[in-house]
Chains A and B, each alone.
Chain A
Amino acid sequence: MKSICLYFQLHEPMQLKRYRFFGIGTDHYYYNDFASEDTIRYWTENCCLPANNTLLEMIRSTNGKFKVAFSISGLMLELLEQYAPEVIDSFRELADTGSVEFLGETYAHSLSSLYDTNEFKQQVKLHSAKIHSLFDLDTKVFCNTELIYSDEIGEQVAKLGFKGVMVEGARHIMGWKSSNYLYKHPYADLTLMPRNYEMSDNIAVRFSNWGWDQYPLTAEKFIGWIVSTPAEEKFMMLGMNYGAIGVYNHAESGIYDFLKALPYHAMMNKITFATPSEILANNKAGDVLSSTEPISWADEEKDLSPWTGNDLQGEALQKLYSVGERVRLCTDKRIKYDWLNLQTSQHFYFMSTKHFTGNSQAHTGQYESPYEAFMNYMNVLSDFLQRVDEQYPTSIENEELNSLLKTINNQEQQIAELEEEIEKLKAEKQEPEKEIKKAAPKKAAPKKAATAKKTTEKKAGEKKAAPKAKK
């Protein structure tokens, strides 16, 4: 018996507004709320709501046998909460059926897995907490931004407690291996779940392509292909952007009817549906699969070139992540919010000159060219960096800053402790005071000062050592 494991990635960024360099240092609001709301409403009406309802209907009509998984970024959830709370309710409803799994990812749909390990950890944890608070579900399988993966990232993912990770079944790492099996990480305790990109793209990319020789794609034909895979292959991972349902393939293309017809034809052929966790539980990982270079699910090359391929992206990313440590030290909520939003991978995608022909804006978002995307982003980033710098001047080393900060943050506690000590000493001395009235206070004062100094020094020392130990 074969299983289909269907999962969707959902993320739309908060759009940056047109930010001229005159604003640097004076204008600290970076977003185009109107456009962001517009996008979210568009996605809500064309994809999220109708698609969720369709999936819900499918789960109910199959008594929970139809299963599906989602990877939704934290920022997307925030935007939905703000502009389309009905979508959150609809996802809750889906979560309550028990047939839906939520996958772990970075909170900001960021490239932090490549640039900043600490940031990556923090974002994954933040995201898991968000999913838990909204849907009361735990994330067990990880699905990185755009399926970016390498052995190193796998190691981090394993350390964060995930048992499985979604990877692209990229030909250059798979070689002769089939993507319809589970694989082991070379050294960490982690199972790799390759996406069958040909079958996924048949839905996501080619479904409404009239020029495709298999057009039109019917559920019957699609299930037929799955049936015809070798009997030893027990499952197939189909991952795509959620926009494949309703945005990239419009409702008129028949994508919803295709989706609805899937369970029927699957059951006719004794094919079941499974969540990623179930796939992990029911199948054993065979061979080792290793990818020393990062891969992704993009284009034909399956590499990072759409996000990190050119100089523009290089400079923007390098500048952004140079302050990671500092931003994590700070407590300013606005800085933290901007920090997450600025990390969203789309900002860098828009700067890609790889596909830029000048005729289509498909790859540059709201911008006319990658250069414009870069200019706008860098202006925003310059202001952001200034703000971070104002809080924590770059002239101070990170470690020094860290220790100073801890001293400052702990000072109240320390004062309280010391006061307590004074009280104690006072209490102790009150008894002898009765006997020796004059000498006692004079002696006590320097003592107190000395103890206080010592504690501070000691604490500062400890804190200095602390970050080193972490590393």
Chain B
Amino acid sequence: MNALMFGWEFPPHILGGLGTASYGLTRGMSLQGDMHITFVIPHPQGDEDQSFLHIIGANNVPIVWKETSWDRVNQLIGHTMHPDEFFHLRENIRYDFRRIGTNEIGCVDFSGRYPNNLMEEISNYEAVASVVAHAGGFDIIHSHDWLTYPAGIFAKNISGKPLVIHVHATDFDRSRGNVNPQVYDIERRGMDAADHIICVSNLTRRTVIEKYGQNPAKVSTVHNAVEPLAEADKVMKTPRKDKVVTFLGRITMQKGPEYFVEAAHRVLQRTKNVRFVMAGSGDMMNQMIHLAASKNIADKFHFTGFLRGKQVTEMLAESDVYIMPSVSEPFGISPLEAMQVGTPTIVSKQSGCAEILNNAIKVDYWDIDAMADAIHAIVSYPAMYKSLHELGEEEVNRITWESAGRKVRAIYDKVLGWS
């Protein structure tokens, strides 16, 4: 089976969880053997792992027919796309996109990020999709997240192939209810046009059904998974006197950092030898520093600033407790990463990942007492730490992208009527 996927991020150049999930899912699906995936992203750098799928850079797809030579194309985009493919795609330009500013070979540039002219990039991406769709060679279309829904719809209309959309998040999660009408409109049209909707959690599925008025029969949940950690055995935990409780993520409203500070305050009133770390950065960081100071716990409450790559793994491994008090989290992959290095984890019940984790503590994000109690239990009762440490790691290692991939495949088969 050939699938045409539209995505926005792909490792190693990622900005959030979307890229990680795209990579994991496609890799998991490629293990099925007969699954051939073409993955379109706005702006590949050429160092993406293409061993199990084929990547098309939207910025290499000609949308306006311009006369050029093989050598010139090779010179310009050879590091990310073979010129032969370029010329094959050029044959499939059917519409007049001259209104869009293109370069000398007829391609449009993409930032591949989330720039201010995001809406413009989305519509340019749609234009690229038309060319790719006309080129054909796929049985099903799969769009990841709202940015790519218009492209998916266009491709579906051109090719007549069924469209599956993958909801990694909705605007209700991002905005805590104050949705951007423009974004909502794009999301809603994507969902209406889709033959099937895949959500990353039952929580998101409910949002899609209730807030976007979708037929529950065409909405399924396929939980995310986590890639096995290559150096899981190498991570070390330095023995120290004080226990470390960590919050790691963007310090924004969606992640509920203030509940973490409040819980820290409760714990510190009764427990010694605990330190709290807020790792990451975000628009609420200064507010949190003030809050910690006003609670008079600043001596035990630390900020690390933004962590990247290996630092994240190290921070997680050095912690005794990892906590994610997100107010609304479609899935939330970082608790799984913490559990991979054996760190006991507390997640809010408003996180999608809470649906699949048993050996993690689950609390309501607003229930500061429960959160404080859980932190206290893990740092004070050795058996609690040990059980969560061992069973958590064991559990998370059983959550694989391969099985998530099989679920997606089953949905493809159903949509295509092949099963």
**Which residues of A does B touch, CB under 8 Å?**
20-22, 24, 310-312, 314-316, 353, 356-358, 368-369, 371-372, 374-375, 378-379, 382
Q: How distant is the Cα of A223 from the Cα of B383 in the complex, in angstroms?
A: 48
> Which of B54-62, B161-169, B323-331, B366-374 interfaces with chain A?
B366-374
Determine the chain B residues whose CB is within 8 A of the CB of A382 once the complex forms: 380
B266, B361, B373, B386 — which one has the most chain A CB atoms within 10 A of its CB? B373
A310: contacting residue among B270, B376, B381, B387, CB under 8 A: B387
15 contacts between A and B (CB under 8 A): A21-B270, A21-B373, A24-B270, A312-B383, A315-B383, A353-B391, A358-B357, A369-B358, A369-B362, A371-B384, A372-B361, A374-B383, A378-B381, A378-B384, A382-B380
Interface residues of B (CB under 8 A from A): 266, 269-271, 357-359, 361-362, 369-370, 372-374, 376-377, 380-384, 386-388, 390-391
Q: Which 7 residue pairs spanning A and B have beta carbons closest together?
A: A315-B383, A375-B377, A358-B358, A311-B383, A21-B376, A20-B373, A312-B383
Across-interface contacts of B376 in A (CB, < 8 A)? 21
A379 touches B377 (CB 8 A): yes
Contact partners of A379 in chain B: CB under 8 A: 373, 377
Choose one: B374, B386, B390; the contact of A375 (CB below 8 Å): B374
Cβ contact within 8 Å between A311 and B373: no
**Chain B residue, CB-CB nearest to A368:** B362
The answer to whether A22 and B266 have CB atoms under 8 Å apart is yes
Q: Are A353 and B387 in contact (CB under 8 A)?
A: yes
Q: Give the complex CA separation of A339 and B376 in angstroms.
A: 24
Q: B198: shortest Cβ distance to chain A, in Å?
A: 22
Return chain B residues, CB-CB under 8 Å to A369: 358, 361-362
Distance from A347 Cβ to chain B, minimum over Cβ atoms (Å): 14
Chain A residues contacting B384 (CB-CB under 8 Å) are 312, 315, 371, 374-375, 378
Q: Which of A310, A372, A375 has the most CB of B within 10 A?
A: A375
Q: Which A residue sits closest to B355, measured CB to CB?
A: A358
- Report the bound CA distance from A356 to B357 in whole Å: 11
Q: Shortest beta-carbon distance, A250 to chain B, in Å?
A: 29
Q: Nearest chain-B residue to A358 (Cβ)?
A: B358
Report the nearest B residue to A359, measured CB to CB: B358
**Distance between Cα atoms of A369 and B347 in the complex (Å):** 14
Q: Are B369 and A315 in contact (CB under 8 A)?
A: no
Q: Given the complex of chains A and B, what is the CA–CA distance between A20 and B388 in angstroms?
A: 19
User: Do B270 and A315 touch across chains, with their CB atoms under 8 A apart?
Assistant: no
Question: Contacts of B386 on A, CB cut-off 8 Å?
Answer: 311
**Within the assembled complex, what's the spacing in Å between the Cα atoms of A372 and B359?**
11
Nearest A residue (CB) for B383: A315
- CA–CA, A378 and B376, complex, Å: 11
**A310-B387, A378-B380, A382-B380 given; 9 more Cβ-contact pairs under 8 Å:** A21-B372, A22-B266, A22-B372, A311-B387, A315-B381, A353-B387, A371-B377, A374-B381, A375-B373
Give the residues in chain A near B370, CB-CB below 8 Å: 20
Candidates A310, A353, A357, A371; contact of B361 at CB < 8 Å: A371
A21→B377 contact, CB < 8 A: yes
Q: Are A374 and B377 in contact (CB under 8 A)?
A: yes
Chain B residues in 8 Å Cβ range of A353:
359, 387, 391
Distance of A349 from chain B, by nearest CB (Å): 16
Tell me, in angstroms, the Cα distance from A314 to B372 when the chains sit together.
24
CA distance A109 to B401 in the complex (A): 46
Which residues on A sit within 8 Å (CB–CB) of B377? 21, 371, 374-375, 378-379
- Chain A positions within 8 Å of B391 at CB level: 353
Residues of B within 8 A of A368 (CB): 362
Q: In the assembled complex, which residues on chain B have CB atoms less than 8 Å from the CB atom of A311?
A: 383, 386-387, 390
CA gap between A164 and B391 in the complex, in Å: 41
How many angstroms between the C-alpha atoms of A24 and B387 in the bound complex? 23
Residues of A within 8 Å of B361, CB to CB, are: 369, 371-372
Determine if B358 and A357 form an interchain contact, defined as CB atoms under 8 angstroms apart: yes
Contact B358 A22, beta carbon cutoff 8 Å: no
Q: How far is the CA of A375 from the CA of B374 in the complex (A)?
A: 7
User: B358 touches which one: A24, A310, A356, A378 (CB < 8 A)?
Assistant: A356
Expressed in whole angstroms, the minimum distance between the Cβ of B90 and any Cβ of chain A is 53
A382 to B271, CA, bound (A): 13
A318 closest partner in B (C-beta): B383
Complexed CA–CA distance, A104 and B380 (Å): 38
Closest to A21 in B: B376
Contacts of A310 in B (CB 8 A): 387
User: Which residues of the partner chain B approach A378 to less than 8 Å between Cβ atoms?
Assistant: 377, 380-381, 384
- Whether the Cβ atoms of A20 and B369 lie closer than 8 Å is yes
> Distance (Å) between the CB of B225 and the closest chain A CB?
16
Docked Cα-Cα span, A310 to B359, in Å, equals 13
Question: How far is A312 from B391 in the complex, measured between Cα atoms in Å?
Answer: 12
State in angstroms the CA–CA spacing of A316 and B381 once bound together. 9
B residues in contact with A24, CB < 8 Å: 270
Considering only CB atoms, which chain A residue lies closest to B267 in the complex? Answer: A21
Find the B residue at minimum CB distance from A370. B387
Q: Which residues of B contact A372 (CB under 8 A)?
A: 361
Q: How far is the CA of A311 from the CA of B390 in the complex (A)?
A: 10
Q: How far is the CB of B396 from chain A (nearest CB, A)?
A: 14
Measured in the bound complex, the distance between the Cα atoms of B369 and A352 in whole Å is: 24
Q: How far is the CB of B413 from chain A (nearest CB, A)?
A: 26
Q: Are A371 and B369 in contact (CB under 8 A)?
A: no
Q: How close is A306's CB to chain B, nearest CB, in angstroms?
A: 15
B387 x A312 contact (CB < 8 A) = yes
Give the distance to chain B from A19, nearest Cβ to Cβ, in Å: 9
Whole-angstrom distance between the Cβ of B164 and the nearest chain A Cβ: 27
Shortest CB distance A431–B (Å): 69
A304 to chain B, nearest CB (A): 17
Residues of A contacting B388 in the complex (Cβ-Cβ under 8 angstroms): 371
Whether B374 and A315, one on each chain, are in contact in the complex, defined by CB atoms closer than 8 angstroms, is no
Closest residue of A by beta carbon distance from B375? A21
- Complex: how many Å from CA A369 to CA B362? 9
**A378 CA to B391 CA in the complex, in Å?**
19
Of B357, B359, B377, the most chain A CB neighbours within 10 A belong to: B377
Collect the chain A residues with CB atoms within 8 Å of residue B269's CB. Answer: 22
* Residue on A nearest B344 in the bound complex, by CB: A371
Query: Do B382 and A315 have beta carbons less than 8 Å apart?
Result: yes
Whether the pair A371, B381 counts as a contact (CB closer than 8 A) is no
How near does chain A come to B377, taking the closest CB pair, in angstroms? 4
Other-chain residue from B357, B373, B380, B383 in contact with A316 (beta carbon distance below 8 A): B383
Q: Report the minimum CB–CB distance from B240 to chain A (whole Å).
A: 22
Q: What is the CB-to-nearest-CB distance from B246 to chain A, in angstroms, rounded to a whole number?
A: 19
Residues of A within 8 A of B373 (CB): 20-21, 375, 379
Whether A22 and B383, one on each chain, are in contact in the complex, defined by CB atoms closer than 8 angstroms, is no
Closest residue to A374 on the B side, CB-wise? Answer: B384
- CB-CB < 8 A to A316: which residues of B? 383
B296 to chain A, nearest CB (A): 18
In angstroms, Cα B391 to Cα A311, docked, is: 11
Chain A hits for B383, CB < 8 A: 311-312, 314-316, 374
Pick from A315, A353, A358 the residue with the most CB of B within 10 Å. A358
- Quote the shortest CB–CB distance from B229 to chain A (angstroms): 23
Q: Which of chain B's residues have a CB closer than 8 A to the CB of A358?
A: 357-358
CA distance A24 to B376 in the complex (A): 12
CB-CB nearest in chain B for A382? B380
The closest CB in chain A to the CB of B361 belongs to: A371
Given contacts A315-B381, A378-B377, A378-B381, contact A22 B362 (CB under 8 A): no
Q: Which residues of B lie under 8 Å from residue A375 when comparing CB positions?
A: 373-374, 377, 381, 384
> If the complex has contacts A21-B270, A22-B270, are A371 and B387 also in contact, measured as CB distance less than 8 A?
yes
Shortest Cβ distance from B308 into chain A, in angstroms? Answer: 32
A297, B207: Cα distance in complex, Å: 46
In the bound assembly, the distance between CA atoms of A311 and B392 in angstroms comes to 14
Q: How far is the CB of A20 from chain B (nearest CB, A)?
A: 5
Minimal beta-carbon separation of A63 from chain B (angstroms): 55
Alpha-carbon distance between A421 and B376 when the two chains are bound, in angstroms: 59
Q: How many Å lie between the Cα of A372 and that of B349 in the bound state?
A: 14
CA of A226 to CA of B387, assembled, Å:
45
CA distance A375 to B269 in the complex (A): 18
* B266 and chain A: residue at smallest CB distance: A22
Distance of A375 Cα from B359 Cα, bound (Å):
14
